[in-house]
A and B are shown apart, each in its own frame.
Chain A
Amino acid sequence: MPLDERSTDASEHAGPTSIDTEEESDSGNHSRVDKNNNKGEKQRPPLPPRPKAGLLQSDASPNSPQSVKGLRPSLQSKPTTALSSVDIQTLSFPDGSRGTFSTPGSRLVSESVMGLSTGTSTPSGKASRAGIDMDDTTSLISYAPTLRGNGDLESLLDSGLDSPSPAWKLLSTQSEAANPFESFEYEGPSLHSFDKEFDEIEAVDTKRGNEEELLIQWKSKLKHYIILSSAGKPIYSRHGDQNLINGYIGIIQTIISFFESAKDPLLGFTAGNTRFVVVTQGPLYLFAISKLKETDAQLRAQLDALYMQILSTLTLSNLTHLFTNRPNTDLRRPLEGTETLLSSLSDTFTKGSASSLLSALECLKIRKTQRYVINNTMLKARTPNLLYGLIVAGGRLVSVARPKRHSLHPGDLQLIFNMLFEAGSVKAGGGENWIPLCLPGFNNRGYLYMYVSFISARENAENVAERPSTASSVSQEDEIAILLISAEKESFFELKEMRDDIVEQLEKNGSMDIIKKAVRVGRSSATEMVPGTPLRHFLYKSRANVQFTMPSFSPDFGSALARRKLMNLYHALHASAHAKHAHTKVIHCISTDSVSLVWTTASFEFYCIAGPNTSRAALAQGANKIIQWVKREEERLFIIGGAVF
């Protein structure tokens, strides 16, 4: 079977695609800055006044996404020197409790000096090169950080508020083997209300007059997603019911429309430590509010995914039709039931998802020969109306069957995975499912039909029954799903037969046990992959395959908070690696609570993190070893080619 087909399941676009949520759109960063400055200079009313300050604010202020990065730029190339380190005096303890002195607006370049002085690294291009020499196509440019250059703006802004306390210095030099984020100072955006982030906000009760209290709760959320029609009709908000946020919807609509009508669309703005990003899609305004220091490009990708979800429910044709007929359409009715999908998607972003950050998929690690058998089983069982067939286990792809002409768009798969594994509805149904959906990456004008059946990966299936059906991501770990997609809406029983056939064959040839076992074992930790590695976590994206691999989050990032911190770091690393003019291939970052590294080549993107006292040489060597490991295991970690018919 055509395993030799290097081009991939997901890399090429299929069909008449008009939406593209893939990455590399980070140019938003810069263009946004320009826009803002323009806006500021033109003194348009709805924005905070920022003639010159505008530049400082959006370009250099600690609060703007660009400068975010919890990175200490001890070793950076020029294009990324805009990075500065985060310093929020929040005492976040690893267990999620906290005591805060958040001084959210204070991050400065002078800290990079601190980074040096606590310094595990003596920056020099040579040293780095010595560490990482695997891939000679890699261009490695590194500079010692200077306080000059881009840093000037920042040092103007901040005045050295945050030099590390002597106690901190003591602490940080103490333990060699400290884990990331263990120190009291976590250098990312303030997450002190993260544990309440997903708590529901009650409905407004005018009798009790709880509105004020609810607004405080609402404002304390770190992340908001709001969707409205260009006519100002609310469509969706992650937090708060309509009565609570109606006023804000009005304001948002006014602001966006103002710029729209001036043919100078608003892309985003900053207020305090909060970033606001706007995406307009035909009749829809999508609006993200984030205190998590994500970049505009990252937030925009998230909004695009929400838009894709709306298309997936309605199709573009229907959406357009509704609004052409009645510009004042209330979309909530036709979207009924989509809200839970939008919310689980939003929460995935807020919790932090490697898959959405990298726009790539994760596969279940099994032997190449085993995958070959599974692929063949799929192909043999294939029935005439099959378009795509997927086996997914523990949220990871096991096998994909697809026609030669069509690949799967990662954005489409994200929607499917979200529906099946994050939102509760389908899983809780307890049967087989037949789901009409539009996969906008495949074709945004029509529906496909998806057959879904779940199989428990547990030895004894009894626990499945006990599991609360609304539980989401926890339970995805032990589900095997067979998804068969067709353009033929009456093909349920045909595909059901195919599924029965597949399952029977997989049982017979032993593949089912292999899959179940792989799911139960779960991801290995970095130490299991390369014994003794200083790396605590990493992401490796194979560009050609549009797939990624990573170790387990436990033991170091088991909690939701720890995971969010890790994701903050990855977001920052990702942003610096994808900054418009970043020609850098390696970025090494030191902060008080971790050291990290990004390495990009034509074939992969690699992000990793180690404890704060890891030397750069050790980090580089650790990275090297992991990358070698990945290369060795490549055909187990990634689906290469897949089952093509």
Chain B
Amino acid sequence: MATKGPVGARGPAGSSRGGNSRFAQFKLVLLGESAVGKSSLVLRFVKDQFDDYRESTIGAAFLTQTISLDDQTTVKFEIWDTAGQERYKSLAPMYYRNANCAVVVYDITQASSLDKAKQWIKELQRQANENIIIALAGNKLDLVTDQPDKRAITTADAEAYARESGLLFFETSAKTSENVRELFTAIAKKLPLDQAGPRNPRSGGRGGVELRPENTSTQGAGNTCAC
């Protein structure tokens, strides 16, 4: 039951230079209330797929996707798509602890989902990596194109909040893929790689991707609780 931190095992995170090209990898976490469309956004981004009916995530899913910012720059995201249901909440720190960036998602047709998003943002700002880049995504944009009265949160309100809190902001549709790529690209561009070229985006032994064991004393099967 030894705690472990296989930090370097999967290659150092961060970036490296080969000739003129730059490559960096970052850990990204998605948070937000259940059913707002986190998994749908990720699946659109990673596999360019969408399902009208998707079952709720159990636990968390891990996916990767690489994008090129320009001819020389490649960014690889290692993505944790977390479960939004209440009982998984206590596991969330495990996923955002070492994240370089986070996408906090709400559903623009559900007012309460923005409140939940704000809670997550607060938690991230308090507990996560201090340089974490946070994007706020108002999803299901397609639902309001035909029926504007379905909208529960105005773009202006959400945008204002995002500006105040220093967040990237997009309204997205996983269904039509509107703004999905833009969202992830904007994050990639904002990541430290930009300013300084090939360099570990954050110093201090972050592996970029590992679930670090730090505050978890070992636990057997007997004493943990995921709810």
Q: Which residues of A contact B (CB under 8 A)?
A: 313-315, 317-318, 333-334, 336-337, 340, 384-385, 387, 419, 423-426, 428-437, 442-443, 445-448, 450, 465, 468-470, 487-494, 496-497
Which residue of A315, A432, A468, A497 contacts B6 across the interface (Cβ within 8 Å)?
Answer: A497
Give A21 to B63 CA distance when docked, in angstroms.
36
Give min CB distance, A444 to chain B, whole Å: 10
- Indicate if the CB atoms of B210 and A436 lie closer than 8 Å: no
- Indicate if the CB atoms of B49 and A430 lie closer than 8 Å: yes
Question: Known interface pairs A431-B63, A442-B221, A465-B47. Does A337 touch B1 (Cβ–Cβ under 8 Å)?
Answer: no
Give A465 to B49 CA distance when docked, in angstroms.
8
**Which 8 pairs show the lowest CB-CB distances between chains A and B?**
A435-B59, A431-B63, A425-B55, A429-B61, A436-B226, A446-B221, A446-B222, A431-B61
Give min CB distance, A425 to chain B, whole Å: 4
Give A420 to B161 CA distance when docked, in angstroms.
40
Chain B interface size band reads 35 or more
- Indicate if the CB atoms of B227 and A318 lie closer than 8 Å: yes
The B interface, classified by DSSP as helix, strand, loop or mixed, is: loop
Closest to A425 in B: B55
- Indicate if the CB atoms of B85 and A336 lie closer than 8 Å: yes
Give A447 to B94 CA distance when docked, in angstroms.
15
Residues of B within 8 A of A315 (CB): 225
Give A385 to B3 CA distance when docked, in angstroms.
9
Which residue of A419, A426, A434, A491 contacts B62 across the interface (Cβ within 8 Å)?
Answer: A434
- Indicate if the CB atoms of B227 and A492 lie closer than 8 Å: no
B51 lies within 8 A of chain A by Cβ? yes
Closest to B224 in A: A447
Give A379 to B51 CA distance when docked, in angstroms.
38
- Indicate if the CB atoms of B34 and A436 lie closer than 8 Å: no
Which residue of B81, B88, B227 contacts A431 across the interface (Cβ within 8 Å)?
Answer: B81
Closest to A335 in B: B87
Closest to B207 in A: A493
Closest to A427 in B: B55
B187 lies within 8 A of chain A by Cβ? no
Give A447 to B210 CA distance when docked, in angstroms.
21
Which residue of A442, A465, A470 contacts B55 across the interface (Cβ within 8 Å)?
Answer: A470
Residues of A within 8 A of B3 (CB): 488, 490
B213 lies within 8 A of chain A by Cβ? yes
Give A487 to B220 CA distance when docked, in angstroms.
5
Some 28 contacts from A to B, beta carbons below 8 A apart, are A313-B87, A315-B225, A317-B225, A318-B225, A318-B227, A336-B56, A336-B86, A336-B87, A340-B56, A385-B1, A429-B39, A431-B46, A433-B62, A435-B58, A436-B91, A443-B221, A446-B222, A446-B224, A469-B55, A488-B219, A489-B91, A489-B216, A489-B219, A490-B212, A490-B213, A492-B211, A493-B9, A497-B10
Which residue of A336, A434, A489 contacts B224 across the interface (Cβ within 8 Å)?
Answer: A489
The digit string for B191-227, where 1 denotes a CB below 8 A from any CB of A, is: 0000000000000000001111100101111111111
Q: Which residues of B contact A (CB under 8 A)?
A: 1-4, 6, 9-10, 34, 39, 42-43, 46-47, 49, 51, 53-63, 79, 81, 83, 85-88, 91, 94, 209-213, 216, 218-227
Question: Known interface pairs A334-B227, A434-B60. Does A423 touch B55 (Cβ–Cβ under 8 Å)?
Answer: yes
Give A431 to B218 CA distance when docked, in angstroms.
27
- Indicate if the CB atoms of B1 and A488 lie closer than 8 Å: yes
Give A493 to B8 CA distance when docked, in angstroms.
11
Question: Known interface pairs A385-B1, A490-B211. Does A434 touch B216 (Cβ–Cβ under 8 Å)?
Answer: no
Question: Known interface pairs A336-B85, A425-B56, A491-B4. Does A430 touch B43 (Cβ–Cβ under 8 Å)?
Answer: yes
Known pairs A470-B51, A494-B6. 6 more at Cβ < 8 A?
A317-B225, A340-B55, A430-B42, A435-B59, A435-B60, A445-B221
- Indicate if the CB atoms of B226 and A447 lie closer than 8 Å: yes
Residues of A within 8 A of B81 (CB): 429, 431
Closest to A15 in B: B221
Which residue of B47, B53, B220, B223 contacts A430 across the interface (Cβ within 8 Å)?
Answer: B47
- Indicate if the CB atoms of B211 and A425 lie closer than 8 Å: no
Q: Give the residue among B49, B59, B220 with the most A Cβ atoms within 10 A.
A: B59
Residues of B within 8 A of A428 (CB): 51, 54-55
- Indicate if the CB atoms of B218 and A488 lie closer than 8 Å: yes
Residues of A within 8 A of B39 (CB): 429
Give A465 to B81 CA distance when docked, in angstroms.
19
Give A432 to B80 CA distance when docked, in angstroms.
10
